[in-house]
Amino acid sequence: MKDNRKGNVKTLLNIQEDMSELYEEVRAGNTDLKAAAELANIAGKFLKAEQLKLAREIFTSASNSRLTRNAETSTALTLASSK
Q: What is the pLDDT of residues 39-74, one digit of tens each?
A: 999 999 988 998 899 888 888 887 777 666 666 666
Q: What is the pLDDT of residues 7-16, one digit of tens each?
A: 567 788 888 9
Domain boundaries defined on the chain = 12-81
Sequence-ordered alpha helix ranges (H) in the chain: 12-27, 33-81
Cα–Cα dist 65/61, whole Å: 6
Q: What is the pLDDT of residue 1?
A: 47
Select from 22, 14, 21 the least CA-distant residue to 50: 14
